[in-house]
Amino acid sequence: MNKLKIALTIAGTDPSGGAGVMADLKSFHSCGVYGMAAITSIVAQNSLGVQHIHNLEQTWVEEQLESVFSDEPPHALKTGMIPTIDMMTMIANQIKSKSIPYVIDPVMIAKSGDSLMAPQGRQALKNTLLPLADVATPNIPEAEEITQMKLQTEAEIKKAGRFFINEIGSKGVVLKGGHLEGDARDYLFTKEGEFTFTAPRFDTLHTHGTGCTFSAVITAELAKGKSVYDAVAKAKAYISLAIEHTPEIGQGRGPVNHFAYQQLKGWD
């Protein structure tokens, strides 16, 4: 019997369950992977927005990671909300000492529009964690902030993708096109080539936690030994079904359905 694969998320919380480590753990589980989590921030948020953020001390996060890695190291890890520069530096040092796939969801702004990171932290993210990433998963506004480019056309998106690979040093990046017009089109860039994943765009307000979920599925698939291309392809199919079959929870921008893929496609 094959040993169950493990994925670790390092991120903030969401008591409403739609984003952050709560969404990550649901995504890991629905991909057949055992999930672990280290908390960086306690966030009071729901489908209506972010009300309060309480960042943990950097040493508290480090203690969580030391506990995990000293006992049963994961087969892949992802980071989401990393609010301070000290925390970024510490996590970068942890990642450098491990030889496992690393996925970064460069969380800067919540779906509600609330800022989750100070401006100086955005530059530090570019210098510390992004160069270590096997896959980075910025949406268009995040990619614009990181690259300082305006991304409205496919040519501009391709230029930004090559910037991540050639200038920042990420091994792979998915530029998520959810903020663009037309079909929901995501662009994967690696040193091996450029790939496009397209799905229908669904008319729904309920997209809270899509970035967390998408990156978590990639992490789970990499933990299972899948290639970056196959992991992104699974994540694209997973998030499309999750958006199409939203549970419509909450009074505002509700969460996606983390169980739609498993229910409709089964385990794979």
> CA dist 105 to 91, 97, 108, 268, Å?
14, 20, 9, 24
pLDDT of residue 155: 92
pLDDT score of 170: 98
Burial annotation 70-103 (CB, 10 A radius, 16+ → b, else e): eeeebbbbbbbbbbbbebbbbbbebbeeeebbbb
Which position among 207, 213, 219, 246 bears the catalytic label?
207
pLDDT of residue 122: 78
Instruction: List the catalytic residue out of 210, 213, 219, 246.
Output: 210
* pLDDT-above-90 percentage for the chain: 83
Concerning whether 210 is annotated as a catalytic residue, the answer is yes
3-state secondary structure of 111: coil
Mean pLDDT across the chain, nearest whole number? 93
Per the annotation, the verdict on 113 as an active-site residue is: no
Q: Are 122 and 128 spatial neighbours (Cβ–Cβ below 8 Å)?
A: no
Please tell me which residue in 212, 224, 234, 254 is annotated as part of the active site: 212
The Cα–Cα gap between 231 and 134 comes to 12
Instruction: Name the catalytic one among 79, 209, 213, 254.
Output: 209
Domains of the chain: 6-265 (3.40.1190.20)
pTM of this structure: 0.95
Q: Other C-beta atoms within 10 Å of 122: how many?
A: 15
User: What pLDDT band is residue 116 in, cutting at 50, 70 and 90?
Assistant: low
Tens digits of residue pLDDT in 76-97: 999 999 999 999 999 999 999 9
Taking the chain, what is the end-to-end CA distance rounded to the nearest angstrom? 16
Catalytic residue among 5, 78, 176, 234: 176
Q: Which residues of 164-174 are buried (b: 16+ CB within 10 A; e: fewer)?
A: bbeebebbbbb
Whether residue 266 is predicted with pLDDT greater than 70 in this model: the reply is yes
Query: Of these residues, 211, 213, 246, 254, which one is catalytic?
Result: 211
Give per-residue pLDDT as tens, 7-58: 999 999 999 999 999 999 999 999 999 999 999 999 999 999 999 999 999 9
State pLDDT tens for residues 196-225.
999 998 989 999 999 999 999 999 999 999
Measured CA to CA in angstroms, residue 188 lies from 64, 138, 156, 172, 182 at distances of 32, 11, 14, 7, 18
Sign, Cα dihedral of 84, 60, 12, 172:
positive
**Predicted confidence band of residue 178 (pLDDT cuts 50, 70, 90):** low
Q: What is the pLDDT of residues 135-156, one digit of tens each?
A: 999 999 899 989 999 998 889 9
pLDDT for res 180: 66
pLDDT class for 120, splitting at 50, 70, 90?
confident
18 tagged catalytic:
no
In the residue annotation, 246 being an active-site residue is answered as: no
Helical packing angle, 58-71 and 85-96, nearest 10°? 20
Amino acid code (one letter) for 253: R
Give the per-residue pLDDT at 183: 81
Residue 219's nearest CA partner among 234, 199, 237 is 234
- The answer to whether residue 111 scores a pLDDT higher than 70 is no
pLDDT at 112: 58
